[in-house]
Amino acid sequence: MSVVVNEPVPRPGILDIAAYVPGKEHAPGVARVFKLSSNETPLGPSPKAREALKQAVDHLEIYPDGQATELREAIAAVHGLNPANILCGNGSDELLGLLCHVYLGAGDEGIITEHGFLVYKIQIMGACATPVIVKEKDATVDVDAILAAVTEKTKIVFLANPANPTGTYVPVTEIRRLQAALPKNVVLVLDAAYAEYVRRNDYEAGLELVSNSRNVVMTRTFSKVYGLAALRIGWMYAPAAIIDALNRVRGPFNMNAPAIAAGAAAVRDQAFIEKAVEYNNLWLDKLSHALEAIGLKVTPSVTNFLLIHFPDTDGKRAEDADAFLTSRGYILRAVRGYGFPNALRMSVGTEEANRGVVETLGEFMGRNP
């Protein structure tokens, strides 16, 4: 006898996905809130991007350019790339999803790392494939662990470099070693959402590797140092065949016109980005030292956020600190879901917010900053 199903049923595996939980925004009962939970920049976008956005508002009845030509050309000019190898998306999240949609199916495997960005797992499962999670070493991606997990079913490897929520990075020599050893049919995704902040001689976001191979993709975002998270702008640099495949399935107008205009203006204003990075790196350093001075351990970060580890003592754990900070209006990110039950992630904020967190945590720890 056939079973009668009286409502639509999602594909197997979809209801096993734990939906992404964004950073908290509110502190109940607190009037003034400092949101340091989503790695947004405290400096906002370039004034030139704001101006471009205002002008775009006069033409909202017109469909956007489905190729996002102005934005792709502006990105290409700044980074010295061929615009044909650039694809823009509604945030880099969209591009990560498209890659899974195109390269994964039931029975395939996608490799992710222990503390990796949660969107990878969601998108791999959303494509009915299996996420294979490999260990990290000292909260840093371990290339050998990735290579040891590769099977004939592996079709994609996701790697954030630098990584979120750890803030650590993998040197370019290691990334090259990974690419050289991976089977050529496996897509290696280098998610470089925080690349602009990195000032290390042994770091590269992935441009050269993409240019010299057929299976490497680099994704970037305008949500962090560019200060345009609300507009949802991401881009990808990839071999022509991968761009072609993704173009076949993406929404024909996946980028909206105000985002195209503001993104193009923002990327042309590199002087603004330089200043934003300088501000961030100054505070990243100050915050790391100040937090260590009050007895907290901080994972060394090359990004715009810090992973702060708390003592394993009653009343002093991360969840206690989270409640104490929230009661004062400082919202950090709990990272239990990333495998750090006793840590909080703090985005670099305004000077007032940064000083406030240090002071509040000093009080929490019973130490003067």
Ligand X SMILES: Cc1ncc(COP(=O)(O)O)c(C=O)c1O
Q: Which residues bind ligand X (CB under 6 A)?
A: 39, 91-93, 117, 160, 164, 191, 193, 221, 223, 229, 234
Rounded Cα–Cα distance for residues 87 and 213 (Å): 17
* Residue whose CB is less far from ligand X, 117 or 330: 117
* Residue whose CB is less far from ligand X, 221 or 360: 221
Query: Per DSSP, which regions of 121-196 are E strands?
Result: 130-134, 154-160, 187-191
* Residue whose CB is less far from ligand X, 117 or 169: 117
Task: Using alpha carbons, list the distances in angstroms from residue 63 to 56, 59, 233, 250.
Answer: 12, 9, 17, 16
Task: Using alpha carbons, list the distances in angstroms from residue 4 to 7, 11, 340.
Answer: 9, 17, 44
DSSP assignment of 225-279: TT--GGG--EEEE--HHHHHHHHHHS-TT-S-HHHHHHHHHHHH-HHHHHHHHHH
* Residue whose CB is less far from ligand X, 115 or 328: 115
CB–CB of 158/96 below 8 Å? yes
* Residue whose CB is less far from ligand X, 181 or 230: 230
* Residue whose CB is less far from ligand X, 221 or 326: 221
* Residue whose CB is less far from ligand X, 39 or 326: 39
- DSSP classification of residue 38: S
344 phi, psi to nearest 5 deg = -130, 145
Residue with tokens 């989503």: 38
Q: Which amino acid is at 281?
A: N
251 phi, psi to nearest 5 deg = -60, 140
Cβ-proximal residue to ligand X, closest one: 91
CB of 306 to ligand X, least distance (A): 14
Task: Using alpha carbons, list the distances in angstroms from residue 284 to 44, 201, 205, 302.
Answer: 17, 18, 20, 8
CB of 160 to ligand X, least distance (A): 4
CB of 226 to ligand X, least distance (A): 10
CB of 257 to ligand X, least distance (A): 18
- What three-state secondary structure class fits 333? strand
| Number of Cα atoms under 13 Å in the Cβ half of residue 92 | 24
* Residue whose CB is less far from ligand X, 37 or 46: 37
Rounded Cα–Cα distance for residues 195 and 220 (Å): 8
* Residue whose CB is less far from ligand X, 197 or 330: 197
CB of 19 to ligand X, least distance (A): 15
